[in-house]
Structure formats: structure tokens, C-alpha cells
Amino acid sequence: MKSDDTISQEEEQSKHIPDEQELQKRNRDRTQNRRQQTSYKGRKKENNMVKKIVLIIVAVLIMTLSIAGFFAYQYFTSSLKPLDSKNEKLIQVEIPQGSSSKQIGQILEKNKIIKSGLVFSYYVKMNNKADFQAGYYQMSPSMTLEAITDSLQEGGTDEPVSLADAKITIPEGYSVDQIAELFSKETKLSKDDFLDVVKDEEFFNELVTKYPDLLESAKNAKDTRYRLEGYLYPATYYYYKDVPIKDMITQMVDKTNQVLAPYYDQIKAKKMTVQEVLTLASLVEKEGVTPEDRRKIAQVFLNRLAIDMPIQSDISILYAMEEHKVHLSEKDTQIDSPYNLYINKGTGPGPFNNPSQQAIESVLNPEETDALYFLADVSTGKVYYAKTYDEHLVNKKEYIDDKNN
């Protein structure tokens, strides 16, 4: 017989022996767990793979956009430069009436004057270029966008003309000597040939007869280096090798007459001469940068003249010395020359360069100020004005001397 303890142990063991259904269930659970674990690992691996693919795609996109941006920037910056700086061959283009900047850009691109009409349109808007005129223009792939827009503002011809041998743009404020050098560089003319015509008294008298309102005061001036200094208007001119130098210079004088014609009555009303106006304008051209400062500087010069005070412009010394210097010495300001406005009162013999219309208008319509002195901070371009010499010295110390020390 089995003892009660033995029976109890057997009963207890019988309780822990699973039946077939329970075994099957456990096997199913194990299988399901293994599948879940395998599925989880698979999904995790798949997710990691997706993440890697996404990162690769994003990296490729960023790289592609960066490369595209780089090339777009390169294209944009190159389009701001001349299409071909070495190609000065002129091409005649027509700008129809009412053309927008976009349409003009397309015309210039089509004629291979510029690289991109779209960039041209952007340049025009960003630089507030406007008032382009219709007409026929002679342009070359070597021209800058600034030169092209300046030419479009200046105007072309109403009818197509034969292509010039050279196109010469005279910058504002160029002297006769600089213009002669420019012509020599752009053409086969020598500088001396150009200056010989400028100094030809017979030719000058012919011009006086043709433009009396313009040149009468220049004829009466004394001690001038060049009678036509100030009268060769800064603009763009077409040069033809078969056209005499006299005709080229006559074009420049005629342009000056056209610019000044509306002001002749105003000049007389102010009891000034054309020579005096152009002389002051030539100083203003070099002394001021902004229209506001030019008008104010013009008034400073007029204030000095009104009290018989020397103008004392460094521009006059540089012209008298016939050289360029950044800083003048005390000895420089004492140079013996009628053009020295440090030691000579009044406006001197005549203009020091060929000024722009804006500089001329500044003299005729100055901005009111009782200042007698001014100086410019060359690092900022800002001009400081003073009523007295003591105030001027304070400005000089603060904005010039202390900054340079």
C-alpha cells in the first residue's frame, strides 16, 4: 500500500503534467513569440534601412541644390561682367519705342552684347536704372552693364548709321589731357595730334562764331591752358577714322551747348559767365559725390566768392601741378600758377576739367548754407561743413587726424 504522503506527491505531480492541448497551446505561443520577435527585428531593420535611404536622398538633394546654387551664382556673377572684354567690335542694335528692361535685355542677349537678358533686367531694377531711350545703338561685347545702361539713358540715333571704327566714352570730370589720352588709346590718333587741334586758335574762333553764347566768355579768359577745357562734354561718341579730329571735337562742344542752352538766361540773371559756371562746376564735380553734397559745396564756394575769400580747393592745385597726389603739402599750395586758387582769389582762368550736367546744375541751384569750410571723410564719403575755421579744425581732428592715427 502507498502511504498518504506518496499518494499526495503523485497527485501533486499529476497536476504539473500538461495535457496535449496545453502543450499545443504553449508551442503556438512560443511560435507566435518567435514570429513577433522576428517581425519586430525585421521592422526595425527595415526602418533603419528606410532612414538610411531618406538620409542619402536628403544628402543628395542638398548636394544637388548646393551645386545648382553654386553654378547659378557663377552664372549670375559672370553675367554681370562684359560678355567678352577683348571683343570691341561694334554691333548695331535697335531698341523699339516703349521697350521694357526685360525686352531690352532679350534684344541685347539675342545680339550677343550681353550674356543674360534676365540678369540685365535684374541689374536695371537693383540699380534703379530708368529712362532708357528708343533708337539705334552701337554696342560691343566688351561693354559693362553700367556702360550699356548709361548709353541707353543717353540715347541713340533715330536712324541706323554706319558702324564706327571705335566707340569712346568720356567719363565725367575728365580733363582735356585725359580725353586726349583716351582718344589715343582707343584710336590710332596720337595725343599730340588731338591736343594740337584743341590749341588751334583759328579752330577755336570758328567755334566761337558757331556757339557765341557758349564760348564768348572763354574767348575773353586770360592765361588758360586750354581754351576748350570744360567745353568737351563727357558723353559717348562714335569715332570714324575718315572723320577729321576737328569734327569730333566740334561734336563735344555742340553737346555742351545743348546741355547749357536751357541755362543761358539763368546764368545771365545770376550775373555770372559760362566760364565761371563751368569752372565752379569742374570743382564741384571732383569735390562732391552725392547731388546733395554737390549743391552744398557749390554754395560754400559761392559764399567764399561773395566775401572775396579764396576758394582754396585742392583740385586747383592738382591741375596747376599737372599731377595727382593724395595729400598736398604746404609747399604745394603755394605753387606759382594762375590756376592756384589757394593764393589767387576768384575762379581763376577757367575750368579744371569737363563737368557733368549734374555738377553744372549744382552751381546754378545750390543748397543754402552759411558754411565756409568743408572736408570729406574718404573712408565713409561723408562731408562735414563748418561756419568758422575753428569749427573746421575740430572736424579735421575728429574725422581725419584721429582716424589716421
What 3-state DSSP class applies to 87? coil
What is the dihedral sign for C-alpha 356, 359, 363, 365? positive
H helical segments located in 127-174? 145-154
The candidate with the shortest Cα–Cα distance to 134, out of 92, 93, 95, is: 95
Q: Could you tell me the pTM of the whole model?
A: 0.73
The vertex-367 CA angle with 365 and 373, nearest 5°, equals: 120
H helices of 80-138, in order, are 101-110, 117-126
Residue 6: predicted pLDDT: 53
Whether 179 and 235 have beta carbons less than 8 Å apart is answered as: no
Q: How far is Cα 387 from Cα 61, in angstroms, rounded to an integer?
A: 64
Spans of all domains in the chain: 83-163, 271-404
Single-letter code of the amino acid located at 304: R
- Residue 339 · residue 369 · CB < 8 Å: no
Angle between helices 117-126 and 20-79 (to 10 degrees): 80
- Residues ≥6 apart with Cβ < 8 Å to 128: none
Beta-ladder partners of 383: 376
What CATH number has the domain spanning 83-163?
Answer: 3.30.1490.480
What pLDDT sits at residue 265? Answer: 95
What pLDDT was estimated at residue 60? 80
Residue 41 and residue 60: Cα distance in Å, rounded?
28
| Nearest Cα residue to 169 out of 96, 86, 252, 101 | 252
Q: What is the pLDDT of residue 123?
A: 92
Per-position pLDDT tens, the chain of length 405: 555 555 555 555 555 556 677 767 777 767 777 776 666 666 767 777 777 787 788 778 777 777 766 665 666 676 778 989 889 889 999 999 999 999 999 999 999 999 999 999 999 999 999 899 999 999 999 999 999 999 999 888 888 888 888 889 899 999 999 999 999 998 888 999 999 999 999 999 999 999 999 999 999 999 999 999 999 999 989 899 888 999 999 999 999 999 999 999 999 999 999 999 999 999 999 998 899 999 999 999 999 999 999 999 999 999 999 888 777 788 989 999 999 999 999 999 999 999 999 999 999 999 999 999 999 887 788 899 999 999 999 988 888 877 766
Torsion angle of alpha carbons 121, 123, 125, 126, nearest 10°? Answer: 160
Distance from C-alpha of 227 to C-alpha of 84, rounded to nearest angstrom: 39
